[in-house]
Amino acid sequence: MPAEPGVRTPEIDEQLLRTALRLFAALGYDGTSVGMIAEAAGRDPAEIAAVGGKPALYRAAMESYSKTAQGLVGEFTARTVHDAADAHEFLDRMLDFHFEHPEFNSLWVQRWLSDALDLPDVEQTYRMPIMDFGRRLLSAATEAEQEDVEMAVSLFDWAIHGFFAEGVQRPGATPLRSDDPRARRRFRGYMHYLLDLLIRDHQA
């Protein structure tokens, strides 16, 4: 039986999960077969079927993303007041998270290319809790209208994933890529600049 949404199948060991995650990130869920996963992990396909098959591995990969990101959120939810400094700190921590886990960025980019449409609850189960916290934090830090907060959080999210997907395009020059430390510093600085503009605009 496939795992229920949000529930990690205990039988899926870390090596098998990391192999599946790497293939899902590179090829997408639809482009990855059980045979590919089994061969890359050095496993029998029957072992994958026993833990729920490809859907269970995909949900386990998404659960791994969610748990890792939720660990960051947990540090902030314990604070009783959220201000501009918290918003900047959270932005830094989320950027660090994405820099340290590029496979998760690729996993979501594949998803946005109409990947794994037979698993329609993935965003709501694994992604929305992180986005919801970002909206609550930004709302408290800026006192902006909810529609402005929703737009801002989505724009920051798109910018981060776009930076990993194709970098910063430049006329007549090679793009600034996310694996370039200098490009990362420039991107981080610009994200903080945009956040400052948003905060100042809604605190005036």
- Domains of the chain, first to last: 58-203 (1.10.357)
What is the reported pLDDT for 75? 79
What is the reported pLDDT for 8? 45
The overall longest dimension of the chain from CA atoms, in Å, is 62
What is the reported pLDDT for 201? 83
Q: Are the C-beta atoms of 69 and 134 separated by less than 8 Å?
A: no
Other C-beta atoms lying within 10 Å of the C-beta of residue 161: 17
pTM of the model: 0.84
What is the reported pLDDT for 3? 44
What is the reported pLDDT for 71? 86
Q: Are the C-beta atoms of 129 and 70 separated by less than 8 Å?
A: yes
User: Which amino acid, one-letter code, is at 37?
Assistant: I
Alpha helices in 78-176 (DSSP H): 84-100, 102-112, 122, 128-142, 146-166
> For the chain (length 204 residues), average pLDDT per consecutive 10?
44 92 96 97 95 95 91 80 89 93 92 93 92 91 89 94 91 92 95 93 68
Q: Which residues contact 123 (CB under 8 A, 6 or more apart)?
A: 111
SS3 70: helix
Other C-beta atoms lying within 10 Å of the C-beta of residue 106: 20
